[in-house]
Copies of this chain bind each other. A is one copy, B any other.
Amino acid sequence: MDTLFYPKVVAVIGASPQEGKVGNTIVKNLKEFKGTVYAVNPKYKEVLGLPCYPSILDIPEDVDVTIIVVPAKLVLGALEECGKKGVKSAIVISAGFKEAGIEGAKLEKALVRLAEKHGIQLVGPNCLGIINTDIGMNATFSKVAPSKGRVAFLSQSGALILAVLEWSKQSGIGFSKVVSLGNKAMLDESDFLEYLAHDDSTDVILLYIEGLSDGQKFIKVAKKVAKKKPVIVLKAGKSQSGAKAASSHTGSLAGSYEAYRTAFRQSGVVEATSVEELFDFARVLLKYRKAGNLAIVTNSGGPGVMAADTCDQFGIPLASFDFETIRKLKEFLPAESNIYNPVDILGDADISRFSRTLDILSEDDNVGIILAILTPTAQMDFVKAAECVKGKDVVCCFMGGESIKEAEKILMKSNIPNFFDPVRAVKAISVVKKYSEMSIREDVEEETVVDVDYAKIEDVLDKLKKMGSRIVGAEGLPLLDAYGIKMPPYGIARTFKEAKEIADRVGYPVVLKVVSPDVVHKSDVGGVKLNVGENELEKAFFEILSNVESRMPKARINGILVQKMVEGGKELIVGMKRDPQFGPLIMFGMGGVYVEVLKDVSFRIAPITRKEASEMIKEVKAYRILRGLRGEKPVDIDAIVDLLVRVSKLSVDHPELLEVDLNPVKVFEDGNVVVDFRMVLDVKEV
């Protein structure tokens, strides 16, 4: 991809001398490019002083990158010529592809095939282009070129790039590379992430996406990249509408945005919630990578308190100063100053008081970043203040308008982030903690190995295939068994005699449940009997049959599940929903109201390791209940971890499983068992 970003020779196919045309703007934008630019257009001999050729084949030297801006129907022809010319990369600006309907989608497929045939890397189509400030290459039709800097920005929205480039001029953010992803027919966000991980000009990668081309590829790549440098993502499209049609608890809670959030988290990508936050985070991460305790110094009490409040809210620890620091501060600060954190140097503080305080705090090893909050008092000289924060680990909060303009420029030059609002400043600083926690995680573990009795599986799947039912209950239990997932001893009885045999074997009391692909809510039709003793067995068995027959006469009855009754324990839910983008999304939570009312659940995308499973369990609020409240003994967390990795393995092995609900699972001080179970099969696949 180096050729794409660092070409020596580029050609604009569709270059135009006509003001306002995209093919004109791009040629203009390439004026600063430190390489050779050729124009291609059969209509002209010259475009903006450049020689213009009828075809790329006529260009007298090798071309590395072409920028194609001709109408959609001419793009294939142009690319064919690029192939002949041996061009390595093509940026297709032209619209009229997948985004424009069925015909466009066909054209896009043809385009990809052609590019593959010629070994050409394709950016777009339907994009704004790319920028590499390292070599002055603005291969976009944005009128504004960004300043040089160390932020790379990948965006699925070209319009957002236009907006951001303009706005970055006044907020002092500079870019290394900018990529408009367009339709991502070939190169997608993961490909660019992978490249940027090794790009020496880039320190922070920003990503705006509406969807991902390949979720699992993204996780794999982002996990590696995020360990090298921060990746911050803004995701648009968080609606939960996709979740509405689900047939299980897991399904209804595992919306597509949940899957995205889980993927970001799991791969160490920091999520921003707005455009402003995306760049706030970038400004701070450009400068600071390590979280430390924060010191606040302020010439105004109120804003200092607001900052401290926000630290509290975001879990940013305030530094406790060394005795020596406190002694030194006491020595010269007025008696009314607060010398603890936040350090209030008072409204009449001048630059020397500010500067000296800063020096002292910088020398204290307990202090990580210093947040310097200054309001525009008569005594404060912001330009001098900006000069004296240079070279120190400071984030500024210079609260003013006109009077801080000059100071702001100095701060921008030194890449020192400055915010007007102390709350916003601390929120931005919070990203350092978030990023450093994620990036210090150990290297990606190997997938946890699970023992599976694969011999058993064939048989079960065969049976399920024959059933042809979308929703599967007890008939699927042998599948769980094959994956070493524990359940109470059971059997499925077709006659009372069988039921008696099973019950005698598993031991009383037992639970009876109707087994039917047509009965979704078994209790509602009287299809369940709990705590059945030996003497009640016959009555219970026939009651279930008659209940179901009278209330759902058309339901197919595959038998009655006879299961040993399990008492006590805490109820959990473990589930899976197959996300179209990321694959199996594993869910964990405590059962009953915790799931239904409080929606207190956690997610991971399979395959998960034991470590990830363990994190999932700790993430739910109800975790404290599992650890044991008021002297209660904790439940067997290891057993839950084991269950989660087994469900993960099951889900990865069988793409035909769309949803799995183990609900409830009962967990004890020692071990756990799955008490009830349901899964949704892709009937076309089975």
List residues of A whose CB falls within 8 A of some B CB.
20, 25, 99-101, 141, 143-144, 156-160, 162-163, 166-170, 208, 210, 234, 236-240, 273-277, 299-303, 305-306, 308-309, 312-313, 336, 347, 375-378, 399-404, 420-424, 593, 596-598, 600, 621-622, 624-625, 629
A216 to B141, CA, bound (A): 61
Given A144-B376, A144-B402, A163-B399, output 12 extra A-B contacts at Cβ < 8 Å.
A159-B303, A159-B377, A160-B375, A160-B399, A163-B400, A166-B401, A166-B402, A210-B301, A210-B305, A236-B302, A238-B312, A275-B423
Q: A166-B402, A274-B424, A276-B421 are in contact. Are A160 and B621 (CB under 8 A)?
A: no
Question: Could you tell me if A236 and B305 are in contact, using CB atoms closer than 8 angstroms?
Answer: yes
Question: Could you tell me if A303 and B157 are in contact, using CB atoms closer than 8 angstroms?
Answer: yes
Question: Could you tell me if A422 and B306 are in contact, using CB atoms closer than 8 angstroms?
Answer: no
Contact of A158 among B20, B169, B313, B347 (CB under 8 A): B347
Contact of A299 among B159, B273, B423, B597 (CB under 8 A): B159
Q: A144-B401, A596-B629, A621-B597 are in contact. Are A239 and B160 (CB under 8 A)?
A: no
Question: Could you tell me if A347 and B159 are in contact, using CB atoms closer than 8 angstroms?
Answer: yes
Contact of A167 among B313, B420, B621 (CB under 8 A): B420
Q: Which residues of B contact A160 (CB under 8 A)?
A: 300, 302-303, 375, 399
Contact of A305 among B237, B302, B622 (CB under 8 A): B237
Q: Which residues of B contact A162 (CB under 8 A)?
A: 375-377, 400
Q: Which residues of B contact A163 (CB under 8 A)?
A: 300, 303, 375-376, 399-400, 420
Question: Could you tell me if B378 and A20 are in contact, using CB atoms closer than 8 angstroms?
Answer: yes
The distance from the CB of A624 to the nearest CB of chain B, in whole angstroms, is: 5
Q: What are 11 A-B pairs with beta-carbon distances under 8 A?
A: A144-B376, A166-B401, A236-B305, A238-B313, A239-B308, A239-B309, A273-B423, A274-B422, A274-B424, A275-B423, A593-B629
Question: Could you tell me if A378 and B143 are in contact, using CB atoms closer than 8 angstroms?
Answer: yes
Q: Which residues of B contact A210 (CB under 8 A)?
A: 301-302, 305
Residue of B nearest to A400 (CB): B166
A219 to B170, CA, bound (A): 43
The distance from the CB of A669 to the nearest CB of chain B, in whole angstroms, is: 18
Q: Which residues of B contact A159 (CB under 8 A)?
A: 299-303, 347, 375, 377, 399
A125 to B306, CA, bound (A): 23
A210 to B300, CA, bound (A): 12
Q: Which residues of B contact A143 (CB under 8 A)?
A: 376, 378
Interface centre among A20, A236, A299, A303 (most CB of B within 10 A): A236
A166 to B382, CA, bound (A): 14
Contact of A622 among B158, B597, B629 (CB under 8 A): B597
The distance from the CB of A20 to the nearest CB of chain B, in whole angstroms, is: 7
Which 9 pairs from chain A and chain B are nearest by CB?
A: A159-B300, A157-B302, A166-B401, A274-B423, A163-B399, A159-B375, A236-B305, A238-B309, A167-B401
Interface centre among A100, A210, A593 (most CB of B within 10 A): A593
